[in-house]
Amino acid sequence: MNSMKESLLSFSGANVPIDEVAKIMKKDQQFIKLGLQEKWLPIGIAYQMNDTQEFSYYISPKKLYEYTGYIYQGQSLVKNHLQAKYKIYEK
């Protein structure tokens, strides 16, 4: 059950860049990509392009928040909803 504060959050649905997710999780970008490809990292999807070895990635801001507690707002990362309310950002 979502708390009242969580129900007030809104997510744009914009893609969160892999390099930002890697920073949040303190992992390298390949870890994030592999987790999405193999479906054990539940924050987005990896789509393999037809007849190639290349993947395209989408990381959901909402799923990222649910998994890590970080809110992605464009170029800014916010650790939790209190920081979002008061505009306190991680450095």
pLDDT of residue 18: 96
Q: What is the mean pLDDT of each run of 10 residues along the chain (91 residues)?
A: 59 89 96 98 96 95 93 66 46 39
Pairing of strands 55-59, 44-48: antiparallel
pLDDT of residue 61: 93
DSSP label of 91: -
Nearest CA-CA partner of 89 in 12, 24, 15, 4: 24
pLDDT of residue 64: 95
pLDDT of residue 76: 54
pLDDT of residue 86: 43
